[in-house]
Structure 1
Amino acid sequence: MFENLYNAMMFISYIDVKFLFNGSIVTNPIIEEIDFFQQYVLQQILETSPFDLNSLPNLKESKKKFKNLNEFYSEASEKVNKLLKNSNIIDTSININSTTIQIKECYNENDSYLVYLTCSKLNSFYDETIEIWYRKLGFEQFLNPNTPELMPPIDSSLVQNDGMQALNILRQETGWKKMDHIYIIYNGKQLNVDFILKGEINHMNFRIKKEHVTQLLRCRYTEIMKNYCVLLSSILHICNTVAYDFYYKCLIELFKSFNKSKLMVEGLYKSLITLNKSSIWSVSYSSYSILQKILKWVADIINLLNNNEFSQVYNDDLLDIKKIELVKRLLIVFLKFRDALRIELYSDLGYMKSRCLMKKSFYEMFQLIYDFKSSVSSIEISNFQWPIQVYHKACKFFNTFCENVYKSCYEDLGFKKVDCHNKSLDVKLHKFTVK
């Protein structure tokens, strides 16, 4: 029964009601609640030992099972009562527990008869529920359609089979575990990574699953860009204050790290291109899963690094006029880029709460600077070396951040495994590509 109800709720969840009832609040299917019951029942089915309180060899095990059953009943009752309390379509004043009423009427009978009556009524309840609320509502036909009228629609603008294949590859990768602090907000409901990636992608759920996945990635990639910008600003602030006596050497280390970040940014760029070419990300300017801004930011960074001399700076004991002039020119370019990115991020983050719930805070510049300074002991090194070690520590932290992002958000998400079959990028994205 619970398996059928769960499948029915999942089918309803695949209908993108947000677009069917634009501007309206639509109740979400009770998937998690039914899954709670289903998982408990499946767990009990796997238990093969007899449940007999009168059998001495199994008394300890049976008591444990009975204790677990009571705990399950308490939690289940709480979930059901919460559902009833929050429901505006069920009249809770009507007593619908006919099984309990009939058992009370037979309370003078012997215990074995009551057990038989209860089990009989429960089995009838299960059968009736499956028949009335699953089969007769047509879910069996919807989930296993054999007529063209019931087949799920396929977007003619997408190569849907390629998209399903790519999404099924990506969802099984380990990198998603790094996003367990992110919940997307979809139709007023908070959806975590496990829910978004649960179940195989097919024609029935592809359209909504790709929206969920791309919205999740938008949240994660925005978080990355925000922290990336804060880290760069933190190192620059250290150069301007803590390491002012070593200003140009500090800037050189900053630009070296900035240039190294190209690998991370290229990973994000490749993942976005793959999402579009594989028909997972469809360009839409009115969706929460819009990724154009992320693509613009990473393409701008790659173009900046490709078209300037950040790779030409290196640190040694010699700071001649030529090197200082190069650093000054790069600083002007860097500041212009940093300020523009910060403004765009600030504008985008103003709307982020409507699509993302972040369980982890963004980096904060002055807290980072405090941590970098605190991590370098002034007792073990000279006052002369302390500021040098601070900016080295900050740059090392930034380098590690970029390496981890590249691994978790490109390699560990499986983008290298996706075959785009030489498909072209959406023409609307050409202006955001690397030159």
Structure 2
Amino acid sequence: MENKKSTLDFPAMNIKISGIPLPIYLAFTIITGVSIAVKWLPSGMIGALLVMMILGGLFNIIGNNLPIVKTFLGGGAIVCIFASAALVYSGLISEDIVENVDQFMNKTGFLNFYIAALITGSILGMDRSLLLKAAVRFLPVALCAMSLAILSVGVVGTLVGYGFVDAVMYVAIPMMGGGMGAGVVPLSSMYAEALHTDSAAIISRMIPASTLGNVMAIVGAGLLAKLGDIKPGLTGNGLLMRNHNSEMSEKNNSSVSLEELGIGMITAMVFFLMGVIINKFVPAVHSYAWMIILVAVSKGGGFIPAKFEDSARQWSQFVMKNWTSALLVGIGISMIDLGAVVKAVSPMYLLLVFVVVGSVSVGAGIGGHLVGFYPVESAITAGLCTTNMGGTGDIAVLSAAKRMELLPFAQIATRICGALILIVASILTQILF
């Protein structure tokens, strides 16, 4: 009997994007592209998520195979963000698609849905003793590193003629405020009130610092990951604490059931809801921070049944595996303004932003080493994650470093340290302005 090749037995079928053979993936891409061109793409969740997942898969595999990008710049993560932002900047993605993705990411709450899953699963999947030991050391390391960065940029700003006050108040503080909504917006109102001026002029000075800081933090995360590959003794490959036998994801190979995924999803959403409820009574502390505290206390006190802990961890892994690239595309489309980045680029400005990012990462790396952390993981979380754009920046930085399991610590750096920066800024406006 003559052997015949299967119709699917082609070399291209061995190349897979998001688990889908290349020819089929390209067919899906063409269908989506034509639907966009003739404006037949559904609005809402289906249209937004489909565009994000299609572009995310393509950009991720491209970035993970570009020689310099994959080695030094974070691979697929950075391509997902900036390639999609470039499509918006060039007009290749229409305004209605941008609005739909922005609506889905922010107002519909996909970003919150993603972050809730990762925070809950990451913390509940940790070893309890690791959580307790790391938490009490992490915040002091981050705060000391931020103080070093603020002082350093002030000194450099004075030397290059930018000014100590301007370098601190318009470069360092906006970069460390916890992102756009939680940092730059309230800071601009605070400055405007102190200076008796319009907040629009203030925010236009702050956005480039926040955006460029986010870019450099992402690139820095890729470089630190490469440093860990070259110097294995400096990294725990996703573990923060040295000399700790347990791993955060010690049950990665355990089986998962559909029921457990549902339990994990509900658990994550309930913890997020509780964080939102407490935020209503104590609005000075972000709801993400309250959620971290609630999950950490529940884990540390042993209040969560083992099945719920494992279900939350499995759900976070499902979300991370399937939607990280899509989320990064959503960040690029809806939250990265390449125009503002381009306008702000000047040698002096880039130097000041680099001083902040470099100082905080070096300070966090050294400080982390002194308290028993791996320097690479400490530099990424207690350092770089204080200079990115909030929760989205945390995801981008950790994706570039391939250390998504560190998201709870990244969120501590972003939310709690960001809130403290706002308090410091309110004091400095009275002293320096």
TM-score (norm 2): 0.23
Structure ranking higher on relative contact order (CA contacts 8 Å, 6+ apart): 2
TM-score (norm 1): 0.23
Higher Cα Rg, which structure: 1
